[in-house]
Amino acid sequence: MFSYLRQRFTSHIRERSRRRARLVSKDGRCNIEFGNVGQPRFVFLIDIWTTILDLRWRYKMTIFISAFLGSWFLFGLLWYVVAYIHKDLPEFNPSINHTPCVENINGLTSAFLFSLETQVTIGYGFRCVTEQCATAIFLLIFQSILGVIINSFMCGAILAKISRSKNRAKTITFSKHAVISKRGGKLCLLIRVANLRKSLLIGSHIYGKLLKTTITPEGETIILDQVNIEFVVDAGNENLFFISPLTIYHIIDKNSPFFHMAAETILQQDFELVVFLDGTVEATSATCQVRTSYIPEEVLWGYRFAPIVSKTKEGKYRVDFQNFSKTVAVETPHCAFCLYNEKEAKAKEKKGYDNPGFVLSEVSETSDTKM
């Protein structure tokens, strides 16, 4: 028992040590941090709307609650100051004929309650502003306008946060692995993508970037060098009819960065394939981008995806997501270079070649036979 646990623990530690760093996680988040940024922090306050939208929910709700409580308490203090200056408080023993600026403010607590009632337009009727002093009227108008601005900004920020297309991207899923096999007589890298909603993504476009470390002829080392990867769909690369899962593929030809890779060496490569899907959400007309990535351990050479779409007896099309990331081993050349050499050899077998040095000599036949 202990030997089994020790073996599992050792394999887990070995697997973690071999785990490669990702720039883009499987769910699309970017693993990057910025250091020694020259611009000061307050530049983010210039674009306050984007800053609020990018905040996490816990920080956003903290700002939301603090803004309301702070404004209520601040105006509560101002109402208390108005009542104090006008000597409306009980400690000043106002006369019976005294008309206060605000009825029934007896202290700081009642001033805070009146500020709350004014800003959220509750209006219980127990406390109200009189026409006795213009300062209270001006303060009432100012607080009402500021309260509307705070309500509009905060409610708009929460609504925009909820309706961001980032949430729509969570219903677009990619296969766990990418596979390499023959398709249409060509060696291709295939990835499966599915839309979990019945609403479409309009104007969808799929493309990829291969991230790797390269060394230029001048000796410069470029980390995260980007190489374009063109993906093709049988139905066309533009304006996809994205109602059912699609299998996108990249043709590994002589211009592909995968051309010099082989089944035996792909695990020793250092790259990250990032796949992007851009589109417009049909319901909100907002643009949406979905991202995922594949490292060499997640690229299976010599496999293809299992069928996922079938037709029922009732005439309906059924998508079985149990086979979405399931792969099946198939016969595949162990490198693209070998596949193209094999094709060239077969093409040469079907051709004839002229030998200019060949001379046909005629042989005369005789009918005499000597004994």
Per-residue pLDDT averaged across 320-341, rounded?
83
Helices 57-85 + 108-119 axis angle, to 10: 120
Nearest to 231 by CA among 214, 246, 243: 246
Position 234 pLDDT exceeds 70: no
Q: Is 25 helix (H, G, I), strand (E, B) or coil?
A: coil
Is the four-CA dihedral 89, 91, 95, 96 of positive or negative sign? positive
Per-residue model confidence (pLDDT) at position 17: 42
Question: Percentage of the chain surpassing pLDDT 70?
Answer: 81
Q: How far apart are CA 364 and CA 371, in angstroms?
A: 20
Position 342 pLDDT exceeds 80: no
Q: Which residues pair with 208 in a beta bridge?
A: 229, 275
Per-residue model confidence (pLDDT) at position 148: 92
Per-residue pLDDT averaged across 296-315, rounded?
87
The residue among 301 and 371 whose pLDDT is bigger is 301
- Structural tokens at position 341: 């050499």
Per-residue model confidence (pLDDT) at position 143: 93
Compute CA distances 78 → 74, 114, 135, 371, whole Å: 6, 11, 10, 144
Position 205 pLDDT exceeds 90: no
Structure confidence at residue 239 as a pLDDT band (50, 70, 90): low
The residue among 2 and 110 whose pLDDT is bigger is 110
Per-residue model confidence (pLDDT) at position 198: 77
User: How many alpha carbons lie under 13 Å from residue 249 in its C-beta half-sphere?
Assistant: 20
Yes or no: is domain 168-347 CATH 2.60.40.1400? yes
Per-residue model confidence (pLDDT) at position 98: 87
Contact 197, 171 (CB under 8 A): yes
- Structural tokens at position 364: 């005369």
The residue among 297 and 359 whose pLDDT is bigger is 297
Q: How far apart are CA 223 and CA 214, in angstroms?
A: 7
The residue among 162 and 100 whose pLDDT is bigger is 100
Q: How far apart are CA 272 and CA 223, in angstroms?
A: 12
Structure confidence at residue 303 as a pLDDT band (50, 70, 90): very high
Position 207 pLDDT exceeds 60: yes
Most confident of 47-51, 141-145, 261-265, 345-349: 141-145
Q: Is 209 helix (H, G, I), strand (E, B) or coil?
A: strand
Q: Is 141 helix (H, G, I), strand (E, B) or coil?
A: helix
Q: For 19, left (φ over 0), alpha (ψ -120 to 50), or beta?
A: beta
- Structural tokens at position 256: 């592909």
Q: How far apart are CA 173 and CA 278, in angstroms?
A: 13
Position 364 pLDDT exceeds 60: no
Dump pLDDT digits (tens) for 101-144: 888 888 999 999 999 999 988 878 788 888 888 889 999 999 99
Per-residue model confidence (pLDDT) at position 180: 92
Q: What is the DSSP code (8-state) at residue 30? A: B
Per-residue model confidence (pLDDT) at position 371: 42
Total length of the chain: 371
| Fold of the domain built from segment(s) 55-163 | Helix Hairpins (1.10.287)
* Contacts of residue 237, Cβ cutoff 8 Å, sequence gap at least 6: 205, 206, 230, 231
Position 352 pLDDT exceeds 70: no
Per-residue model confidence (pLDDT) at position 353: 54
Per-residue model confidence (pLDDT) at position 270: 87
Per-residue pLDDT averaged across 329-348, rounded?
72
The domain segmentation of the chain, as residue ranges, is: 55-163, 168-347
Q: Which residues pair with 280 in a beta bridge?
A: 202, 287
Structure confidence at residue 341 as a pLDDT band (50, 70, 90): low
Classify residue 88 as exposed, middle or buried by CB count within 10 Å of its CB (0-12, 13-18, 19+). buried
Dump pLDDT digits (tens) for 160-193: 888 776 777 778 889 999 999 988 888 999 999 9
* Average pLDDT of the chain to the nearest whole number: 81
Angle at 27 between CA 170 and CA 229, to 5 degrees: 105
